[in-house]
């Protein structure tokens, strides 16, 4: 859940900073997650939102709804995240012709053999695979047998102003007390 919350915050920030003079922004979510706080109320009002509500991997009705939405809005570029979305949007590119950029956020040790085969096959029609670090790019490349030339590394952004605000309101002693960390302990944060 924490990862989802962090991703939501990143997504909302990205939606806020896109240049509206150059881009018309659409947000398409495939699944509904009831245990995650509502991200939709934080989406900027000028972003077009489509909530598809796919029920399972074999939800033909949901996939058809997505196809019709994509055909209607006719995007030039689609940026996707996570295996399911990366797969669906890359496959639909065959019929709709947009550019697709799949994102890799992590090293997925638990990825099944068939998922790596799907990634390798669909990488041929993917414009670029965006990885959040060189390590993630190298791992995904090796895991699925995809050329490193297909990858581009774009590190997650850091909001310096937010860090400064937090840093100025932060008390190390108070944090140690709240977390029961002795004052003579050395703390490493990664």
pLDDT in tens, 58-93: 899 999 999 999 999 999 999 998 899 999 999 999
Read off the pLDDT of residues 11-55 as tens digits, 9 standing for 90 and up: 888 899 899 999 999 999 998 877 666 778 889 999 999 999 999
Q: Enter the tokens of residue 155.
A: 């590190």
Q: Is 107 exposed, middle or buried (0-12, 13-18, 19+ CB in 10 A)?
A: middle
**pTM of the predicted model as reported, rounded to 2 decimal places:** 0.79
Please give the helix or strand (H or E) that residue 179 lies within, else none: helix 172-179
Q: What share of the chain is helix, strand, coil (3-state, %, to 5)?
A: 45, 15, 40
């Amino acid at each position: 859940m924490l990862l989802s919350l962090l991703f939501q915050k990143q997504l909302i920030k990205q939606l806020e900073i896109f240049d509206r003079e150059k881009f018309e922004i659409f947000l398409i979510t495939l699944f509904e997650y009831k245990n995650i706080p509502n991200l939709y109320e934080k989406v900027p009002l000028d972003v077009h939102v489509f909530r598809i509500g796919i029920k399972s991997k074999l939800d033909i009705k949901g996939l058809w709804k997505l196809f019709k939405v994509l055909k209607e809005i006719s995007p030039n570029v689609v940026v996707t995240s996570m295996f399911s979305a990366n797969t669906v949007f890359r496959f639909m590119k065959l019929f709709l012709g947009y550019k697709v950029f799949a994102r890799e956020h992590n090293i997925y040790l638990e990825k099944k053999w068939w998922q790596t085969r799907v990634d390798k096959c669909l990488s041929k029609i993917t414009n670029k695979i965006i990885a959040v670090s060189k390590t993630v790019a190298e791992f995904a490349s090796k895991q699925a047998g995809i050329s490193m030339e297909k990858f581009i590394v774009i590190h997650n952004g850091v909001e310096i102003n937010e860090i400064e605000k937090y840093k100025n309101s932060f008390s190390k002693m108070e944090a140690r007390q709240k977390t029961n960390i002795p004052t003579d302990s050395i703390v490493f944060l990664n």
